[in-house]
Structure 1
């Protein structure tokens, strides 16, 4: 009886203990980003008014700023957010495609960050350095973690 090469290389039935907390935290982090994206896209006035108040600006100023993004920035933002959600879910299901999803999420982050760094931004729209470091750190860490699991043949 011949054995399929894929079956012969199947990962172990057990998942490392750290996969679950990392996958769940990644999913929650990206879900929060998806909420922000959805609130901006749907122009949810209550959410945006609260965000504007937290920044010390008028809600209309925040709406005008968000409306000023070109469509390709929204596309990159969506790619970053939803590929991050997909990557986290695929990680929890121990699928190799998590690596690709996290790479696409990082690409979306690169594109949006480049846009924000080369176009004039109001002072209140400047990201706090801690948030920028968290965005990059988490995106890179999730990609590296998924890649590490794949190299150890723990993903299918």
Structure 2
């Protein structure tokens, strides 16, 4: 029996989660690119005040590593999940690690709560979605849906 024949059929929710995940994480990628290419102009157009803009400009260089991991790991995970690849689990775990480090920086190292105000709590939503996607991909791989 071929590998394709042994693959469990994909439940409809896999496609729903995959497409919604790609849309959500695609926006994160758009935001990442715009923030890094247009900088202050993009942040101001997004409604960020002086304190928020200063917060991002003061972010240490090392923080770009977890931010990049979080954003691009999630985009790659979404694409791999739609391709039904087990590597989606690894990509989403990398994304989760990046999101966790970003949240730790926002809440405990940087002055994210003070500088960003209520929008800083978006970091918790991002972290929760990253955790859900890692769990979901792991569950689908365990059931043989992702190979």
Q: 1:30 is matched with which residue?
A: 25
Matched, 1:64 2:49: no
Query: Do the aligned partners of residues 63 and 137 (structure 1) sit closer, same or farther apart at CA in structure 2, a change above 3 Å counting?
Result: closer
Q: Select the residue among 118, 125, 137 that pairs with 1:134.
A: 125
Number of residue pairs matched?
146
Matched, 1:108 2:98: yes
Q: Select the residue among 13, 17, 34 that pairs with 2:12.
A: 17
Deviation, 1:120, is 4.2
TM-score of the pair, normalised by structure 1:
0.82
Q: Select the residue among 83, 92, 116 that pairs with 1:125.
A: 116
User: Would you say the 8 A contact 1:30–1:81 is kept in 2?
Assistant: yes
More helix by share: 2
TM-score of the pair, normalised by structure 2:
0.86
Structure 2: distance between partners of 1:153 and 1:20 = 15
Comparing 34-43 and 140-149, the one that deviates more: 34-43
Q: 1:144 is matched with which residue?
A: 135
CA RMSD between the two structures: 2.3
Deviation, 1:44, is 4.0
User: Would you say the 8 A contact 1:34–1:81 is kept in 2?
Assistant: yes
Structure 1: distance between partners of 2:4 and 2:56 = 51
Q: 2:70 is matched with which residue?
A: 80
Matched, 1:41 2:32: no
